[in-house]
């Protein structure tokens, strides 16, 4: 549904989409027939969940509209409503399993500017390995209109300073 909203969006706005939008819309690239099969096998539970999501969306819209009000009490209600849905989102996200299905862990992010050239990722991972640091997860954001990007290496908190120093020593540009 989020991806469907992009169909007629302004081209300039779509070009600004970052990793979050790519993550949220990734499933929209799959074959619709597969999803028809999946949804046909579970129509009641999916409809129930979508009803709850629709109620959350309506509540959020009401809260946002209240934030537009000149009445301070309504603005406060709007702030409370937005904060409530965001806190419920925080609580729900914490329940999502982490790596290998274990409890989610908190990692430090070491952000490295990278040229969009063959072998660059291999070099970063090799340099991390030389530093004795295990990369737990990785995200890549490509810079709009440039042949460069930002590689975010998630590592154990105690390993972040070690990795940062090692990558700087090997000529990588670290973004704070």
Give the pLDDT of residue 98: 75
Domains plus CATH for the chain?
A: 2-94 (no CATH), 108-175 (3.30.2130.10)
End-to-end CA distance of the chain: 34
**174 backbone dihedrals φ, ψ, rounded to 5°:** -95, 135
Q: Considering just the CA atoms, what is the radius of gyration of the chain in Å?
A: 21
> In the numeric block, which tokens belong to residue 58?
């309506």
Pairwise CA distance, residues 169 & 79, whole Å: 46
Pairwise CA distance, residues 24 & 3, whole Å: 8
Pairwise CA distance, residues 166 & 163, whole Å: 5
**pTM score > 0.75 for this model?**
no
Q: Is 58 within 8 Å of 64 (Cβ atoms)? A: no
Give the pLDDT of residue 15: 85
Of all helices (H) and strands (E), which one includes residue 50?
helix 43-67
> In the numeric block, which tokens belong to residue 118?
């063959």
Pairwise CA distance, residues 175 & 73, whole Å: 42
Q: What pLDDT digit, counting tens, does each position of 128-151 carry?
A: 999 999 999 999 887 666 778 889
Give the pLDDT of residue 96: 84
> In the numeric block, which tokens belong to residue 49?
């969940």
Give the pLDDT of residue 62: 96
To which residue do tokens 């440039």 refer?
146
């Amino acid at each position: 549904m989020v991806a469907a909203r992009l169909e007629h969006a302004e081209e300039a706005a779509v070009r600004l989409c970052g990793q979050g939008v790519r993550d949220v819309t990734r499933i929209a690239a799959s074959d619709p027939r597969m999803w028809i099969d999946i949804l046909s096998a579970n129509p009641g539970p999916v409809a129930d969940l979508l009803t709850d999501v629709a109620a959350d969306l309506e509540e959020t819209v009401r809260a946002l509209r209240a934030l537009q009000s000149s009445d301070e009490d309504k603005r406060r209600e709007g702030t409370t409503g937005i904060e409530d849905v965001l806190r419920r989102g925080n609580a729900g996200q914490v329940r999502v399993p982490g790596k290998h299905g274990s409890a989610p862990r908190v990692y430090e992010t070491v952000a490295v500017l990278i040229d969009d050239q063959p072998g660059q990722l291999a070099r970063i991972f090799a340099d991390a390995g030389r530093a004795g640091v295990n990369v737990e997860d990785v995200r890549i954001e490509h810079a709009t209109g440039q042949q460069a990007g930002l590689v975010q290496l998630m590592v154990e908190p105690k390993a972040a300073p070690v990795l940062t120093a090692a990558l700087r020593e090997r000529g990588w540009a670290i973004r704070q």
